[in-house]
Structure 1
Amino acid sequence: MAKFNHAARTAATSPVVTERTPSVRTYEGAPGYVRDAKSELFLLAVTHMVGEPTMYERPRKRDRRFRRLVHQVAVEDGEWLARFLPWLRTEANMRSAPVVAALEAVRARLDAGLHGLNRQLVDGVLQRADEPGEALAYWTSRYGRSIPKPVKRGIADAIRRLYNERSLLKYDTASKGYRFGDVIDLVHPSPHPDKPWQGDLFKYALDRRHRRRNGIPERLSVLRRRAHLMALPVAERRAVLTGDDPEEVAARLAGAGMTWEALAGWLQGPMDAAAWEAVIPSMGYMALLRNLRNFDQAGVGDAAAEKVMAKLADPDEVASSRQLPLRFYSAYVAASSRWRPALERALALATSCMPSFPGRTLVLVDTSGSMTWLRISARSTVLPVQTAALFGAVLAARGDQVDLYGFADGVFKHRVRPGGSVLEEVQAFCERIGEVGHGTRIADAVRATYRGHDRVVILSDMQAMIGFASDGVMDSAPGDVPMYGFNVLGYKTAAMATGRADRHEFGGFSDVAFRLIPLLEAGKSADWPF
């Protein structure tokens, strides 16, 4: 009788790997598994808001762990890090963590006598025009004003890509410790050969920083148009917004690089409907998303609202905006129902990597106290549990037969209506937080809900408690049933052995890591998503 040569699913491996047997404990006392350095760094980096506290780690402790892992991997496998960090910035949509990681990696590599890749590491993570100044501020606060050449050259490369008239108007403000002129002074970039105006821009940024009263060069037309607007008496400025041709008014503001923040300051008065309607055509995606409530309060008209909704739901705009999916939920909660169809469409586009599972799937969302105690960052209104609930609702809406449960000390089932609003379901799910206690009993939750499903997906901080039925997550479902843990906070200790034997773990605030799951479902070993 054949034992092996029959239809069977191939055992697949995944990149986030732990030891095979537990050697530590989770923060809540269950058996814990130590990850290798790359795996630990990956899960921490995709969830790390630098300087922000979590339930179980103070900011300094978490930041130290991050730096230690970066230093180790930078020396052991710089090529891996050089692939990972640009992905972390551009695909996983993290901002501070990749900048910190690149600079700390250079420091560790220089200390170890390694001189390749360093300039590339810095350049690859700077994707917005305020980030060269952020990088210098971080370096000098940690290591002083002696800046190594690879750091300077990497920042200079980024400046050539990122500095233009509009970015200078938006980001070169008095609130910044490092102004554009300071950065130029320190790293001495040469103008890009394909940007003949950039030399004039660099000179003007230096003159502006050092308060030299030289005029604006002729080639810097955006800056000259802004200066013309600023010269208008305050009493005459609001009349600019009431011109005969609204498109002409919008074009005039856009041509002067006028952001909504700049317009509000220029008017020195409230942003009424006319002001918003004039600046909406030139507003960026994030600015639109964050101001939906302001549009409602000002009474923005239907024509302008249609433009906003069209941009919010445009696939190319969503892709280039690099918004984390949780941003759409925040906007949904804050804004009126007017915007909800566009936000629903935008969320669907922003979670395009989420799989549509065939067969029966069990999805468990952690509603314990550690998922609800702190917001993701000081500037965010979103809790970790809301991110987990969002991913759970998307999986439930897309799969064939998905059973979605919340769990803590007990479990509750949440039914997702076919074809219904995912954002509405997230809100309804989150209203049930606290219904079944506040513990993190992962193993008990799986045992209580598993009924022959084809796979189990756990959305949690993975800091399991010792359960009543068993204190291990590994055997809470049959060993040949794939179990995927999606870690939304990146703590050090894993709740199950991962990377092999149908036990896998991913993480983050974006949908990109989910793209590995279909490979594993097909019996293929999955590499890093970058």
Structure 2
Amino acid sequence: MSRFNTATARPVGSGPIHTESTPSTLTHEGAPGYARDTKSALFLLAVSNMAGEDTYYEKAGDRDARYADLVHAAALEDPKWTARFLAWLRSEANMRSAPLVGACEFVRARLTAQRRRRGANRAVIASVLQRADEPGELLAYWTSRYGRAIPKPVKRGVADAVLRLYDERSLSKWDSAGRGFRFGDVLNLVHPTPRADWQGDLFRYALDRRHGNAEEIPESLTVLRQRGDMLSWPVEQRRALFANDVVASSVLRTAGMTWESVAGWLQGPLDARVWEALIPSMGYMALLRNLRNFDEAGVSDQVAASVSARLADPGQVARSRQFPFRFLSAYEAAPSLRWGHALDQALQASLAQLPALPGRSLILIDTSASMTGTSLSARSKVTPAKAAAVFGVALAAKGVDVDLRGFASGEFVHTVPRGGSVIREVDRFLSRIGEVGHGTDIAGAVRRSYNGHDRVVIVSDMQTMTGGVDTAVPGHVPVYGFNLGGYRAAAMATVGNRHEFGGLTDATFRMVPLLEAGRNADWPF
């Protein structure tokens, strides 16, 4: 009798997330929990961590302290890996607060341990600063945590970013009295050497403006001069500009006027004419955020069609780096149905890298209280359950033979029709939350739902009440846990055919075909 050469024999690849093989701790719901190594724990926490935000099981302070400790450990154990990870976290993963905090803690740990590889700390700081408001954000974090004595690598890294990011338009958009660190404060602290005459003029003007001494805008700063001239117009002249939307659009673009600044400049509501002049120069995220405003102002169907075309364009979706759940949020916020098809196309484009899973797949989406009881951030209405549903329904829509279940204390069956709208199916799935209780029984859901499938995908915060997730299906069947919580304890050991991913984009699902082909899947950076 053959022991190894059986019909179910297949090569096994290993994923990058590693745990111990036997449980040494407990999940937040009391099941046996598996500790992860430093890199695995840091990756899963960082890709789900909105700094300063409470989650269902963890207070913000505890979560942020755990993140800082993990960065410290990784920065000393493998600084090259950690540097690559933090740069990826800000760029491809499109996180903002976590990489800024991580870069500061990376430098802090290495300076404390007297690890001073030339230029490494400076490069990490510069790599996570990709928007002009972020140098001030990073300095505000450092000084609030470690005081006003700012180390040279931090200053030099911030200075490198300032030279890349500070221009007339960024000064107009991000430099305001409401910020603790204005452009002038950053310049005073890091002393960057301007790369061109116009940038030197900009730096001097930003410093003068910060201290109330800006009497005249230099000739070289044409955008700021145009903007300054427009601020002197009487309100009647400002409104009259929009008699011709083509002219208005050109004038506003030349002056670097964003929709936010126009709203204050007009000293009144933005009507359809104003929006129609602004829309051609608005960025992708600004369009996505303002669909309700477009409807309420009554922009024309012709202009709405142009907005829809931009929203649905796969190239613009990719360049925008929006999280997939953002399109669901926009769909929920917009009162008009005229955006629905474009947002559905945009959502599917944002999930273009989700694999079409061959064979039979079981997909389980967690609808328990911990997935629905809190939002991803205080400024968002998106719950982990919504983010989970986006991925689960999209996988079901793309797969050939997929059984989709929602689960908590029990399970419900959800059928996704071929060719249907992913956004509508997500909406319909979410309306069923609460049907099967509010506990988290992952192992039970797997055991009760498994019926000879080729793989099992679990989208959850992985904090289960019951053990045995590892053994709920035969060992040759791959089980993929898509972790949206990043909590300390894993619900299953990631050995053999048991794997764990994390994050709010589709990038990590690229690992599935590699793992099933028996090849090892490395970090996505």
Q: Normalising by the residue count of structure 1, what TM-score does the alignment of the two structures yield?
A: 0.96
User: 1:487: which partner in 2?
Assistant: 483
Q: What amino acid does structure 2 have at the position aligned with 1:316?
A: G
Distance 1:190 1:516 in 2: 44
Distance 2:412 2:190 in 1: 57
**CA deviation profile, 1:119-160 (whole Å, cap 9, x unmatched):** 011011111110000000000000111000000011011111
* Number of aligned residues: 521
Q: What amino acid does structure 2 have at the position aligned with 1:253?
A: L
Distance 1:264 1:324 in 2: 27
Is 2:92 the counterpart of 1:91?
A: yes
Please show how residues 1-80 of structure 1 align to structure 2 within 5 Å: 8-80=9-81
Q: What amino acid does structure 2 have at the position aligned with 1:385?
A: A
The more displaced of 385-394 and 338-347 is 338-347
- Residue 448 and residue 6 in structure 1: after superposition, are their counterparts in 2 closer, same or farther (change >3 A)? closer
Is 2:352 the counterpart of 1:334?
A: no
2:502 to 489, 504, 507: 507
Report how far residue 3 of structure 1 moved: 6.3
User: 2:468: which partner in 1?
Assistant: 472
Check conservation: 1:365, 1:392, Cα contact below 8 A: yes
1:156 to 136, 159, 163: 159
The more displaced of 56-65 and 515-524 is 515-524
Tell me the SS of whatever aligns to 2:21.
Answer: coil
User: 1:359: which partner in 2?
Assistant: 359
Check conservation: 2:205, 2:214, Cα contact below 8 A: no
- Residue 368 and residue 5 in structure 1: after superposition, are their counterparts in 2 closer, same or farther (change >3 A)? closer
Q: What amino acid does structure 1 have at the position aligned with 2:272?
A: A
The more displaced of 212-221 and 67-76 is 212-221
Distance 2:320 2:2 in 1: 54
- Residue 6 and residue 371 in structure 1: after superposition, are their counterparts in 2 closer, same or farther (change >3 A)? closer
**CA deviation profile, 1:41-97 (whole Å, cap 9, x unmatched):** 000000000110011101111011001101110111110011101111111111100
**CA deviation profile, 1:251-294 (whole Å, cap 9, x unmatched):** 11111111111001000001110111111111111111011011
Identity across the alignment (%): 62
Tell me the SS of whatever aligns to 1:51.
Answer: coil
User: 1:349: which partner in 2?
Assistant: 349
Check conservation: 1:366, 1:460, Cα contact below 8 A: yes
Q: What amino acid does structure 2 have at the position aligned with 1:146?
A: A
Report how far residue 465 of structure 1 moved: 0.6
1:186 to 184, 189, 192: 189
Structure 2 unaligned regions, length at least 5: none
**CA deviation profile, 1:309-331 (whole Å, cap 9, x unmatched):** 12212223212212111111100
Q: What amino acid does structure 2 have at the position aligned with 1:207?
A: D
**CA deviation profile, 1:458-507 (whole Å, cap 9, x unmatched):** 000100112xxxx3110011111000000111101000001x31000011
1:521 to 513, 516, 520: 516
Is 2:206 the counterpart of 1:230?
A: no
Q: Normalising by the residue count of structure 2, what TM-score does the alignment of the two structures yield?
A: 0.97
Report how far residue 235 of structure 1 moved: 2.4
Please show how residues 136-147 of structure 1 align to structure 2 within 5 Å: 136-147=139-150
Report how far residue 213 of structure 1 moved: 3.1
Report how far residue 236 of structure 1 moved: 1.9
User: 2:425: which partner in 1?
Assistant: 425
Report how far residue 175 of structure 1 moved: 0.7
Report how far residue 9 of structure 1 moved: 2.2
Check conservation: 1:371, 1:384, Cα contact below 8 A: yes
Please show how residues 267-306 of structure 1 align to structure 2 within 5 Å: 267-306=266-305
Tell me the SS of whatever aligns to 1:365.
Answer: strand
Distance 2:25 2:48 in 1: 22
Tell me the SS of whatever aligns to 1:34.
Answer: coil
Distance 1:59 1:228 in 2: 45
User: 1:210: which partner in 2?
Assistant: 211
RMSD value over aligned CA atoms?
A: 1.3
1:129 to 122, 128, 132: 132
Is 2:171 the counterpart of 1:168?
A: yes
Structure 1 unaligned regions, length at least 5: none
Distance 2:457 2:197 in 1: 53
Report how far residue 6 of structure 1 moved: 8.1
Tell me the SS of whatever aligns to 2:243.
Answer: coil
Q: What amino acid does structure 1 have at the position aligned with 2:509?
A: F
Report how far residue 214 of structure 1 moved: 3.3
Q: What amino acid does structure 2 have at the position aligned with 1:523?
A: G
Distance 2:355 2:96 in 1: 26
Report how far residue 5 of structure 1 moved: 6.8
Q: What amino acid does structure 2 have at the position aligned with 1:172?
A: D
Report how far residue 337 of structure 1 moved: 1.1
Is 2:392 the counterpart of 1:392?
A: yes
Tell me the SS of whatever aligns to 1:249.
Answer: helix
